[in-house]
Amino acid sequence: MNKHPEKKYNTIIAILSIAIPVVVAILFKVKLRDFGFDVKPLSFLPPIYATINGITAVVLVWAVISIKNGKRKLHENLMKTAIALSVAFLGMYVAYHMTSEATKYGGAGIMKGIYFFILITHIILSVVTIPLVLVTYVRALAERFDRHKKIAKITFPIWLYVAVTGVIVYLMISPYYVN
């Protein structure tokens, strides 16, 4: 019998951790109209997916509070919700970028430096978050709560940073969107 049932998911986690960022990067460059689709830009999506990022941050904090208060089932449901919200964000983000040109940040000076620092750390940590979330989730499913708790202490602040900075990036670039 496999002593650590979560190990059977390591290959899937590795594949997803590589495939998701690669596919997103490729799809980010794909424009549907380049393939003959007469599709209007989905310019209504950025405030929606920014809101989803904000809700994700709230759900993550709520989930941590719930587990610290011994509400395991609520924690579990909140974490599933956070994962679903992140998947919804990703789908909308890709859909927007497949139908719209990239928006250039129009600020200058120190704000431009701050914007790019936040954006770059957000992007890098969003890639890092994928395997962390998957490993953390699988360890909970395998009821390896000792190992789950250990990695969750790393996953939570990084995932929270990604969710919060997603909102900040949106707020900073939103004045420069073209409708």
Distance of CA 104 to the CA centre of its chain: 21
18-74 pLDDT tens trace: 999 998 888 878 877 777 777 788 889 999 999 999 999 999 999 999 999 999 999
- Predicted local distance difference test score (pLDDT) of residue 1: 38
Which residue shows structure tokens 């994700």? 56
Encoded tokens for 165: 């900075």
Neighbours of 174 (CB within 10 A): 12
The residues near 55 (Cβ < 8 Å, ≥ 6 apart) are 85
Radius of gyration over every alpha carbon of the chain, rounded to an integer in angstroms: 18
Domains annotated for the chain, with CATH where assigned, are: 21-176 (1.20.120.80)
Encoded tokens for 125: 């940590």
- Predicted local distance difference test score (pLDDT) of residue 179: 57
79-136 pLDDT tens trace: 999 999 999 999 999 999 888 888 899 999 999 999 999 999 999 999 999 999 999 9
